[in-house]
Amino acid sequence: MTQRLHLVFGGELVDPQKTTFKDPSGIHVVGIFPDYASAYNAWKAEAQRTVDDAHTRYFIAHLHRLRDEDAEASPTEELGI
């Protein structure tokens, strides 16, 4: 069975019309969630908590889309790096 992990994270952006973080070291990682529904609930809670700050945004990253277990490993993975 394939896991469909989702990462919820956010922070202050340089410009609210773009997705560049003002301080990448200050990104708030909310957590990794086993399904989209729970990730969405976490995202929504953080988005509502920071609704008055126009420069703060939260995102859901679909981690399961970043890795295809059936594909060959990249040269970096093969080196163990």
CATH number of the domain within which 66 lies: 3.30.70.2400
In a domain, 1, yes or no: no
pLDDT value, residue 36:
94
Average pLDDT over residues 14-35: 96
**Domain span including residue 59:** 6-79
- The tally of domains found in the chain comes to 1
Using the CB atoms, write b or e for 38-73: b if 16+ within 10 Å.
Answer: ebeebbeebeeebeeeeebbbebeeeeeeeeeeeee
* Least confident residue range of 30-34, 43-47, 50-54, 63-67: 63-67
pLDDT of 26 strictly over 90: yes
Whether residue 22 is contained in a domain is answered as yes
Q: How confident is the model at residue 73 (pLDDT cuts 50, 70, 90)?
A: low
* Residue 37, in any domain of the structure: yes
